[in-house]
Amino acid sequence: MKLYAIVLLALMCAACTHNATIGDQYVGKLYQNNPLGEDIAPDADPIIRFDAFDCTTFVETALADGNVDKLNKIRYKNGVINFMNRNHFIETDWLENNSDFVANVSPQYALTATRHVIIDKKKWFRTVYNIDTDFARRDIDLEYIPYANVNNIHISEPMIVLFIIDNKQIRNKIGTDLAVRHMGFLLPDGRLRHASQTLNRVVDVDFYEYVNTMVKNPNNLGIVLVEIKK
């Protein structure tokens, strides 16, 4: 029994160490907006890289553990590499197409509110990229934890955290509504690990101190906690 207990404890510790250090190898790497693409126009950036990230590509690359095949399955619907097929919007594309291994678990941790989101990909592609598409408009309700309810959240394993906004200026600029403005990892010890545009690199910061800066802007609504399924 003692040997079994020791082996079990070792396995548990190994798992904890791995989970606690998700994305650890990328801390300190530079921030770069939209660093990944399909190697061809309209986004000729490389399919994978490890020297620079924005908030989304950092989360995606860390989840894939640097494996390009896993990364492509995360970034593209059904893993089919194509600009039009990319999971551009976290609210609809990303969460839905990756539902086999991620899930919004916000209601398990605090009282939630609902952000009604209208994603107009057709107008967005026309406004931002001057590309005509036939995407239908999507209306969804996204459960999130208002900042007033974000306190003493205890998690045992890393989670993806999404930061929710309601900003008419952004909506008018890009041609569509947008709810998820930023993302990163919330670690069990209370650190937020994310690619920070402000600090120009991947950093660890105190999650609650970061939340305190977010609440100063009335456009910032709260967070979504996303479980990484095993």
| Residue 152 pLDDT | 87
End-to-end, the C-alpha distance of the chain in Å comes to 27
**3-state DSSP assignment of residue 192:** strand
- Whether 186 is covered by a domain: the verdict is yes
* C-alpha–C-alpha distance, residues 43 and 37, integer Å: 5
Share of the chain above pLDDT 70, in %: 91
pLDDT digit string (tens) for 105-154?
999 999 999 999 999 999 999 999 999 999 999 999 999 999 999 998 99
Cis status, amide bond into 42, omega within 30 of 0:
yes
H or E element in which residue 205 lies? strand 201-206
Which letter does DSSP use for residue 40 in this model? Answer: B
- Whether 15 is covered by a domain: the verdict is no
Structure-block tokens of residue 186:
């919330």
- Whether 198 is covered by a domain: the verdict is yes
| Residue 172 pLDDT | 94
- Whether 16 is covered by a domain: the verdict is no
Alpha-helix runs per DSSP H in 114-227: 121-124, 168-174, 207-214
**3-state DSSP assignment of residue 203:** strand
pTM of the model: 0.90
pLDDT at 2 > cutoff 80: no
> Where residue 211 sits, what CATH number does that domain have?
2.30.260.10
Q: How many CB atoms lie within 10 A of CB 130?
A: 8
- Whether 148 is covered by a domain: the verdict is yes
- Whether 133 is covered by a domain: the verdict is yes
Nearest to 58 by CA among 199, 223, 209: 199
* C-alpha–C-alpha distance, residues 119 and 24, integer Å: 33
- Whether 6 is covered by a domain: the verdict is no
Structure-block tokens of residue 10:
């070792």
- Whether 199 is covered by a domain: the verdict is yes
pLDDT digit string (tens) for 149-198?
999 899 999 999 999 999 999 999 999 999 999 999 999 999 999 999 99
Q: Please tell me the total count of domains within the chain.
A: 1
What's the domain range around 158? Answer: 23-228
